[in-house]
Structure 1
Amino acid sequence: MGCHDNCKFEHKRAGGGTKARYLKHIIAREGAVFVCLQETKAVQFSDARCYSLWGDNKAGWVHYEGDNGGGSLLSLWHTDAFIYDSHIMGKGFIAVSGQHVKANYFNAVRSPGERKGTKERGSQLSEIREFNRFIDANLLIELPFVGKSFTWFSSNGKAKSRLDRILVSEEWMQVWPSCKQYVQRREVFDHCALVVKSVDKDWGPKPFRTIDAWLVEKGFMEMVKDRWNAYVVQGSSFTKVKDKLKRLKGDLKIWNKDIFGNLESTKKRILQEIEDYVCQDCNDNLLVCDRMKRFELVGQRKEVDNKLESLMRQKSRVSWLKNGDSCTKFFYSSLKWRRSRNQVKGVEVGGLWCEEPSTVRAEARRWFDNRFRATRDLRVRLDAVEFKSLSLQDNLRLIEGFSETEVRDAM
């Protein structure tokens, strides 16, 4: 999904011709699917007004009027790309649920460092705890930030906060795992717009990794040994190992697809077969041999469950959980959070953000080259340093054996 297929941004105060033109420009530029506006200062909205902001009549919308326009909120979406299901709203929030998005409005931060230049309130830490508890309770994930660390700035520039953020569900991350939220330039608003994009870049071949579940599969180790011994390669010892590993990688991919199989599909097939036998048993049509097959299928299902848990445990690197814990949702959350946190999103070159793999690689290499380049001026010289050393007599005393008198004195 590119940025033209699904984008979402959050901004404040839709009133005024200049601001309306800016909103129409960013909606058209990003090909937005879902738009969230805060503090619109409008008590009422109409189809004509929403269609004007959107650029055509393919827009659905929900408006919360607030207190005579104060705290008013507006959500708009592309009716061809977002299927509306339902919504709830109240003071300070609109939650719209549909096929892709659940959007919420917040005026809170997740840590004290996300507010600068404002007076600390006694309730601020309590507010932070409640906001983080809300995120955890709803199993929401915050998308990685690209750009400025703050999204709101006061008119005098003394205060700043990170009040705007995009939170998504685990189901969203399954469909668009590479989504990020990009902080736009501050132009006519006191808030910076946020644009959600899922930009897939080709970073070249991925490193090969073994799966722990392979090691307990029957016949796996024998297959690896047979293939390894069958490879005939030429060259130095290092070259032979490299070429054998390359060939083994290709054979393991084929084995994983044809023999090991897709664990989720295998589990569904086993459960369906068990269900068929259960239905026959309910009608008293199950033979003795079928009962044995059902018993074997139950054992196979347990094996597949253990393999799935091992796979999720390995990906999420949660090694302290005991075997048998089936909290796969926790594994999945850990996996997605670690991937989004550790992912190299891009680099800033000459003040411009760049995500092209070739540029990122070149900039990373340049940085490490400068970091570890040695110069003559920085080398440590020990020419004039005199170190204390043991004399020949001291050395002989250290290596000579213990006398009986010395042993008795020590005891």
Structure 2
Amino acid sequence: MGSFKVTIDDLGLKEIKLNDRHFTWTNEQTNPTMTRIDRLLCTPDWELLFPSCFLHSLPSLMSDHTPLLLHGALDHFNNNFFRFENFWTKMEGFHEVVQTEWGKPLNTMLPIKRLHIKMARLAKGLKKWWKEKIGNTRLQLTITKEVLLQLEMAQELRPLSDQENELRKRLKARSTGLAVIEKSRMRQRSRLTYIRSGDANTKKFHMKANARRRKNYIHCLQKEGLIALPIYQ
């Protein structure tokens, strides 16, 4: 710990102010113990590059520690296009919606136009089905986090009531299910990004292929102290 403190002094690090909390850890007992053990440090040069940064806390969903989120200049944009989610196929009612929308009659005989209309109807039907079935999971997760955060902030000032503790447990359980959905969505989007990056840069895939080949290569076999080397022809 002494070396760690010396390193902080040598680098001239300073702490970024946490705006909405006094404590970042609790043991979640009836009479909880709360401390401030999570901090964010930066160099003076970094602070000059990001003078308007804002550090705030997130609710501790599955941990005793409070996550810290550092905000800078963010660009906001809305995507209204259709995006298919892989986990839809495992949900109740998905196949019925696909069968209903795909089987609706058409007034054209052109194959390309028929396919376009069917795909547009299916996308519209799936968006409506998802909105009625689950809704905006990202918004639900955001609201869940906000309520949890308010309960944790209230806990710093007073003991929570039994109803508030029960609500907190239910929200944490709910947040786990919503987080699984969001994780599946992010995994799918990361794969699409990986494919697009690979199409634009074949060198990346060459590096991946070479790394996998090196990983799977057997240099030698060893048994009972004897080493068998490969024979090249």
**Under TM normalisation by the shorter chain, which class is it?**
0.3 to 0.5
Structure whose residues are more often helix by fraction: 2
Between structure 1 and structure 2, the one with the greater Rg is 1
Structure whose residues are more often strand by fraction: 1
Q: Structure 2 length as normaliser, TM-score?
A: 0.40
Q: Structure 1 length as normaliser, TM-score?
A: 0.25
